[in-house]
Chains A and B, each alone.
Chain A
Amino acid sequence: MLTNADFLALAGEPGKFQAKINMRPRYIDADACTACGLCTQYCPKHQVDDYNEGLALTRPIHIDYAQAVPATYYIDPASCLHLQHDTCQICVPVCQSHAINFKQQPEERILEVGAVILSPGFGKIDTKVLEKFSYGKHPDVVTAFEYERMTTASGPFMGEIKCFSDGRHPRSMAFIQCVGSRDIGCNNGYCSSVCCMYAIKEALVTKEHDPEVDITIYYMDIRTQGKDFDAARERAEAIGIKFVRARVAGVTPWDKSLKLTYSTFDGQHKFVSHDLVVLSVGLESPKDAAKISQLTGVALNKYDFCATETFQPLQTSREGIIVAGAFQGPKDIPESVTQSSGAAALAAAVLRDQRGKGVVLKTYPDEQQVTPDDEVRVGVFVCHCGINISSVVDVADVAKYAGGMEGVTYYTESLYSCSQDAQEVLKQKIKEHKLNRVVIAACSPRTHEPLFQETLKDAGLNRNLFEMVNIRDQCSWVHANEPAAATDKSRDLVRMAVAKARHIQPLAEQTVPVTPRALILGGGVAGMTAALTLADQGYPSVLVEQGAQIGGNLQNLNYTLAGDQVAQHLKGLVDRIKKSKEIEVITNAELLQTAGFVGNFSSIIESGKGKTKKEQTVDHGVIVVATGGHEHRPDKYLLGQSKKVMTQMEFEKQLTGRAKNRAPGSIVMIQCAGSRGDDLSYCSKVCCNHALKNILKVKAINPDSQIIVLYRDMRAYGMAEDAYLEARKMGVVFIPYEVDRKPEVSQKSHQVQVSFFDSIMQEEVIMAPDLVVLSVGIVPDGTEKLSKLLKLPVTANNFFLEAHVKLRPVEMAVSGVYVCGLAHGPKPVDETIVQAQAAAAKAAIPLVKGFVTVDPIISCVDQDQCIGCGLCTSLCPYGAIEMKKVDKKRKAETITASCKACGICASHCPTFAISMGGFTNEQLISQIEAFGDRPKDMVEVA
Chain B
Amino acid sequence: MGKAMNHREGSVMVLGGGIAGIQAALDLTELGYYVYLVEKSPAVGGVMAQLDKTFPTNDCSL
Whether both chains belong to one complex is answered with yes
Q: Which A positions have Cβ atoms within 8 angstroms of B?
A: 1-7, 17, 19, 21, 26, 51, 53, 63-65, 67-70, 72, 74, 109-122, 145, 148-149, 151-153, 155, 197-198, 200-201, 204-205, 228-229, 231-232, 292, 324-327, 332-333, 336-337, 339-341, 343-345, 347-348, 351, 354-360, 418, 537, 805-806, 841-842, 844-845, 848-849
B15: A residues at CB distance < 8 A:
7, 116-120, 292
Q: Contact between A344 and B44 (Cβ–Cβ < 8 Å)?
A: no
Nearest A residue to B28 via CB reads A344
* Chain B 31-56 per-residue mask, 1 if CB under 8 angstroms from chain A, else 0: 11110111111111111111111111
Beyond A2-B38, A332-B55, list 4 extra A-B contacts (CB 8 Å).
A118-B16, A148-B50, A340-B24, A343-B20
B33: A residues at CB distance < 8 A:
347-348, 351, 354-355, 358-359
Ordered by A's residue number, 7 sampled pairs between the chains whose C-beta atoms are within 8 Å are: A5-B40, A63-B43, A72-B42, A152-B52, A201-B54, A333-B48, A348-B32
The residue in A119, A151, A152, A841 that gathers the most chain B C-beta atoms within 10 A of its C-beta is A119
Known: A109-B6, A340-B24. A1 touches B13 (CB 8 A): no
Please count the residue pairs between chain A and chain B whose beta carbons lie under 8 angstroms apart in the complex: 232
Nearest B residue to A199 via CB reads B55
B52: A residues at CB distance < 8 A:
148-149, 151-153, 155, 205
- A114 and B13 alpha carbons, distance in the complex (Å): 8
Choice from B9, B20, B43, B61 contacting A70 with Cβ under 8 Å: B43
- A722 and B8 alpha carbons, distance in the complex (Å): 44
- A355 and B34 alpha carbons, distance in the complex (Å): 9
The residue in A69, A228, A339 that gathers the most chain B C-beta atoms within 10 A of its C-beta is A69
Choice from A68, A155, A805 contacting B57 with Cβ under 8 Å: A805
Nearest A residue to B56 via CB reads A232
Q: Contact between B39 and A111 (Cβ–Cβ < 8 Å)?
A: no
Known: A26-B42, A333-B19. A1 touches B37 (CB 8 A): yes
Q: How far is the CB of A590 from chain B (nearest CB, A)?
A: 31
- A195 and B40 alpha carbons, distance in the complex (Å): 25
Q: How far is the CB of B39 from chain A (nearest CB, A)?
A: 5
Q: Contact between B13 and A117 (Cβ–Cβ < 8 Å)?
A: yes
Nearest B residue to A118 via CB reads B15
- A6 and B39 alpha carbons, distance in the complex (Å): 7
- A849 and B30 alpha carbons, distance in the complex (Å): 8
A359: B residues at CB distance < 8 A:
10, 29, 32-34
- A80 and B15 alpha carbons, distance in the complex (Å): 28
Q: How far is the CB of A58 from chain B (nearest CB, A)?
A: 12
Q: Contact between B56 and A344 (Cβ–Cβ < 8 Å)?
A: no
The residue in B13, B16, B20, B27 that gathers the most chain A C-beta atoms within 10 A of its C-beta is B20
The residue in A118, A204, A347 that gathers the most chain B C-beta atoms within 10 A of its C-beta is A347
A848: B residues at CB distance < 8 A:
30-32
Q: How far is the CB of B11 from chain A (nearest CB, A)?
A: 5
Q: Contact between A325 and B39 (Cβ–Cβ < 8 Å)?
A: no
Nearest B residue to A328 via CB reads B20
Choice from A68, A110, A118, A149 contacting B45 with Cβ under 8 Å: A68
Q: Contact between A111 and B42 (Cβ–Cβ < 8 Å)?
A: no
Q: How far is the CB of A362 from chain B (nearest CB, A)?
A: 10
Known: A153-B52, A197-B56. A113 touches B43 (CB 8 A): no
Q: Contact between B21 and A355 (Cβ–Cβ < 8 Å)?
A: no
Q: How far is the CB of B62 from chain A (nearest CB, A)?
A: 6
Q: How far is the CB of A810 from chain B (nearest CB, A)?
A: 11
Q: Contact between A358 and B8 (Cβ–Cβ < 8 Å)?
A: yes
Q: How far is the CB of B35 from chain A (nearest CB, A)?
A: 9
Q: Contact between B28 and A3 (Cβ–Cβ < 8 Å)?
A: no
Cβ-closest 6 pairs across A and B: A325-B20, A354-B10, A358-B8, A358-B34, A344-B27, A340-B23
- Chain B interface residue count, Cβ-Cβ cutoff 8 angstroms: 55
Q: How far is the CB of B20 from chain A (nearest CB, A)?
A: 3
Known: A64-B43, A69-B45, A155-B52. A112 touches B6 (CB 8 A): yes
- A74 and B62 alpha carbons, distance in the complex (Å): 21
Q: Contact between A344 and B8 (Cβ–Cβ < 8 Å)?
A: no
The residue in A111, A117, A231, A844 that gathers the most chain B C-beta atoms within 10 A of its C-beta is A117
Q: Contact between A112 and B11 (Cβ–Cβ < 8 Å)?
A: yes
Nearest A residue to B27 via CB reads A344
B30: A residues at CB distance < 8 A:
845, 848-849
A70: B residues at CB distance < 8 A:
43
A344: B residues at CB distance < 8 A:
23-24, 27-28, 31
Choice from B13, B40, B54 contacting A17 with Cβ under 8 Å: B13
Choice from B14, B24, B47 contacting A341 with Cβ under 8 Å: B24
Nearest A residue to B1 via CB reads A1
Q: Contact between B11 and A358 (Cβ–Cβ < 8 Å)?
A: yes
B42: A residues at CB distance < 8 A:
3-4, 26, 63-64, 68, 72, 74
Known: A117-B14, A325-B16. A2 touches B31 (CB 8 A): no
Known: A148-B51, A197-B55. A1 touches B11 (CB 8 A): no
Known: A201-B58, A333-B48. A841 touches B11 (CB 8 A): no
B61: A residues at CB distance < 8 A:
333
Q: Contact between B12 and A333 (Cβ–Cβ < 8 Å)?
A: no
Q: Contact between B55 and A198 (Cβ–Cβ < 8 Å)?
A: yes
Q: Contact between B38 and A351 (Cβ–Cβ < 8 Å)?
A: no
The residue in B21, B37, B61 that gathers the most chain A C-beta atoms within 10 A of its C-beta is B21
- A319 and B18 alpha carbons, distance in the complex (Å): 23
Nearest B residue to A17 via CB reads B13
Q: Contact between A337 and B36 (Cβ–Cβ < 8 Å)?
A: no
Q: Contact between B55 and A1 (Cβ–Cβ < 8 Å)?
A: no
- A355 and B17 alpha carbons, distance in the complex (Å): 22
B38: A residues at CB distance < 8 A:
2, 5, 7, 19, 21
Known: A64-B43, A69-B43, A117-B15. A354 touches B9 (CB 8 A): yes
- A910 and B43 alpha carbons, distance in the complex (Å): 55
Known: A68-B43, A74-B42, A841-B27. A119 touches B16 (CB 8 A): yes
Q: Contact between B20 and A348 (Cβ–Cβ < 8 Å)?
A: no
Q: How far is the CB of B54 from chain A (nearest CB, A)?
A: 6
- A196 and B1 alpha carbons, distance in the complex (Å): 39
Choice from B8, B45, B47, B55 contacting A229 with Cβ under 8 Å: B55
Q: Contact between B34 and A348 (Cβ–Cβ < 8 Å)?
A: no
Q: Contact between B24 and A112 (Cβ–Cβ < 8 Å)?
A: no
- A336 and B51 alpha carbons, distance in the complex (Å): 15
A357: B residues at CB distance < 8 A:
8-10
